């Protein structure tokens, strides 16, 4: 009976030790990642912005590529339609932002209206050649 009690306390101490070790590993990893980034941000903000931008684009691109590959494999027609909708939105918003930055507000608004109309045409009017997955 005493042996079972000691074994239970030993298991509890092992679990507590694992939690403390995991916490220490998280703190160590956080310091190893955050301190150099903080140092870079305070000493060279231009390089820091470039590094963070490249990392963000790389991660977002990887996630998008994985999802696109899966979607293409599951239903190529739906993938092409979604890709077309994304291209219309990306182009329309890019044109609107460019017009807005060049101080052509009404043209930017018109570009957004045309983009919304084109997206609506693709989404609601064009005959979908995509099954509902049923």
Instruction: Give the whole-number percent of the chain exceeding pLDDT 90.
Output: 65
Phi-psi region of 133 (alpha: psi -120 to 50; beta: other; left: phi over 0): left
The pLDDT confidence band at residue 131, using thresholds 50, 70 and 90, is very low
The pLDDT confidence band at residue 12, using thresholds 50, 70 and 90, is very high
Cβ pair 65, 77 in contact under 8 A: no
- Is 100 exposed, middle or buried, given 0-12, 13-18 or 19+ CB atoms closer than 10 A? middle
Domain ranges of the chain: 18-74, 76-128
CA distance 79 to 77: 5
Average pLDDT of the chain to the nearest whole number: 90
**What pLDDT shows up at residue 10?**
92
pLDDT at residue 74 is higher than 70: yes
The pLDDT confidence band at residue 134, using thresholds 50, 70 and 90, is very low
**What pLDDT shows up at residue 126?**
78
CA distance 51 to 40: 10
Instruction: Give the whole-number percent of the chain exceeding pLDDT 70.
Output: 94
| Mean pLDDT, residues 9-15 taken together | 93
> Residue 81 carries which DSSP code?
H
Q: Tens digit of pLDDT for each residue in 81-93? A: 888 999 999 999 9
- Is 111 exposed, middle or buried, given 0-12, 13-18 or 19+ CB atoms closer than 10 A? buried
């Amino acid at each position: 009976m005493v042996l079972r009690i000691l074994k239970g306390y030993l298991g509890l101490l092992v679990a507590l030790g694992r939690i403390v070790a995991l916490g220490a590993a998280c703190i160590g990893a956080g310091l190893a990642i955050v301190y150099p980034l903080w140092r870079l941000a305070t000493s060279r903000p231009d390089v820091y912005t470039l590094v963070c931008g490249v990392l963000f684009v790389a991660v977002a691109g990887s996630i998008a590529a994985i999802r696109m590959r899966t979607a293409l494999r599951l239903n190529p027609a739906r993938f092409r339609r979604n890709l077309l909708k994304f291209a219309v939105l990306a182009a329309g918003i890019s044109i609107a932002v460019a017009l807005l930055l060049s101080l052509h507000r009404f043209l930017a608004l018109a570009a957004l209206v045309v983009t919304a109309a084109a997206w609506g045409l693709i989404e609601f009017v064009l005959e979908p050649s995509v099954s509902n997955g049923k």
